[in-house]
Amino acid sequence: MRGPSIIRAAAAVALLMVTTAGAQQTAPSPLDAVPEKMPFSEPYGAPITAQRAQSLIQAAAAEATKRGWAMNIAVVDSGANLVAFLRMDGAQLASISIAEHKARTAAKFRRPTKTFEKAIQESDYKYIATLDDVVASRGGIPLIENGKVIGAIGCSGGTGSQDEAVCSAAAAMIK
């Protein structure tokens, strides 16, 4: 007589496990959300001029000098092409290409590179690292004038927050 009761008990446990597993479904992934509006959709505008790019380089260099930071500073146009560059005395060599890459990323994706850093660090969106031409480190800022991307500025040589502070000071000149 014990045989059928053991089988029924085992079946009840199995049913309980299946029911419990179904109830413990994970929450939907934020990656599955479909936004109503397209984020970072400012249109590309006419490219920044060399003269304006140089003035942004000088503003960024002034901010970096005021703080005692040696930086590499790059400005690209709306097509992500290098327009102006400065390697301040003492800025590390490895940061030359990083400053340019941050500027190109900010222009191509029409968003600050900090957005990618946050996606990986805070949201654990590892797929960001698989996207072409992404730098997931703050210090690249798009230059938006009259609602259009005219270029971007990228800074490198310090910590990400230092790079961002120097870029932000220069980017604030664009209205």
Phi, psi (degrees; rounded to nearest 5) at 113: -65, -20
CA distance 120 to 122: 6
* 50-171: CATH superfamily: Haem-degrading domain (3.30.450.150)
pLDDT one digit per residue (tens) for the chain, 175 residues: 555 666 555 555 555 555 455 545 677 777 788 878 887 889 999 999 999 999 999 999 999 999 999 999 999 999 999 999 999 999 999 999 999 999 999 999 999 999 999 999 999 999 998 999 999 999 999 999 999 999 999 999 999 999 999 999 999 999 7
Domain ranges of the chain: 2-32, 50-171
pTM of the model: 0.80
What gap in Å lies between CA 151 and CA 1, rounded to an integer? Answer: 82
Instruction: Report H helices in the chain.
Output: 2-23, 50-67, 95-109, 114-121, 160-171
